[in-house]
Amino acid sequence: MNIRMRQQWRLPALLATSVFVFVVVDHTLLSDTTLGARPSTGFALIQALAIVLQIRLPRIGWAASLTAVGCASVVVRESLWVDAMFNSYLVVLGILALRVSWRSAVAAWAATTALSLVLALTMPHTRLTDAVESVLLTGLVLVAGSAIRALFQSRRDALAQSAESERQRERNAVLEERTRIARELHDVVAHHMSVVAIQAGAAQHRVADPSPELLAGLEAIQSSAAAALGEMRRILGVLRADSDAPTHPQPCLDDVNELVDGVRAAGRSVTLTLHGTARDLPPGMAVSAYRIVQEALSNALRHAPTAAITVELCYRETELTLDIRNAPGGSAGPVTHGAGQGLIGMRERVAMLNGSFDAGPTPEGGYHVHARLPLDGRSPRDDPGTDR
């Protein structure tokens, strides 16, 4: 039961306990003591209200209950405690131990002990052993209540720590994926910067009798491109400082066939469908699209090991859509520890390209990953012509 449900049930439970205590104490006092109807009802009402006060003012409720117990003993003067009043006080004491710190519980026990000794020494028909018994009994109730409270608090702390650890894992997953994306984009951008530097240098020799201004401009372009390329290489060194993975050419959508063949070789049924006319994509988009398909397939293999998988690539005029589905046979969603990091990575890549991303179970019991990547860099949500 979570914290919200416990809070919802706390008030009705205390109210029900209060009504029960009132009825029992009132009836018992009327039948077993010489108290009249009004005093019996008054004492029973105080004990019932003491339980209700545990919701907001537990210490005040406990003090009222202890006072009522002492007054009832003084009025009846037949024994150390009036049984009905003392039993209801134990209920209040137990609830108090669940609501306050152990220091407050010890203070309540000390006050109860002091009252027990005073009544035992001043009341007729009482013995010191009666006070000792009541002290031990109230102490036992408080220890039990405090132990239960400590157990609940320990569980709450563990749940809070677990939630914080999960949030930290998600943050780390985002950072790792962004670093990985940055490494891949570096290779793409570095290639273009190299082309710019080479073309600027070559242009100086292709133009007949270039003006000094043109030469200066081309030299500035070449030097700026070379400087930018050097800076990017230094950045790449930082990004790869903690990784021993070798560099290799970045994949693209043309490599999806090889990726699917690898899954088929593992004995899985995978259907790859291409809609529209394939075209050259910006390198960054091509890498991200490949990684999305790769991660979706990995999730399907991990969480739906017996299900058939379909991969659909749809080239439209203004966007590329990716749909990866697995049939029933497990869920490709984040159902185990760490599985949500793949979805985090896919979502980060799509967001970088101003696209849209959806992932979730299908009505048939499978799982569906859908990504839309705008070819013009605009978000599909900003396009009034989209239908999703």
What the block records as the tokens of 323 is 């749909």
Structural contact between residues 360 and 367, judged by C-beta atoms closer than 8 angstroms: yes
pLDDT of residue 214: 80
Predicted confidence (pLDDT) per residue in 56-101, tens digit: 888 998 898 899 888 888 887 777 777 778 888 888 888 888 888 8
Residues belonging to the chain: 388
Q: List % helix, strand, coil for the chain (3-state, nearest 5).
A: 70, 10, 25
CATH class as words, domain 253-329+338-374: alpha beta
The more confidently predicted of residues 184 and 354 is 354
Confidence of residue 239 (pLDDT cuts 50, 70, 90): low
Q: Which range in 39-48, 95-104, 264-273, 363-372 is most confidently predicted, on average pLDDT? A: 363-372
User: At CA 124, angle to CA 60 and CA 115, rounded to 5?
Assistant: 25
Statement: the pTM of the whole predicted model exceeds 0.85: no
Query: Quick one: how many helices (H) and strands (E) in the chain?
Result: 10, 5
Using CA atoms, how far apart are residues 153 and 58, in angstroms rounded to an integer? 18
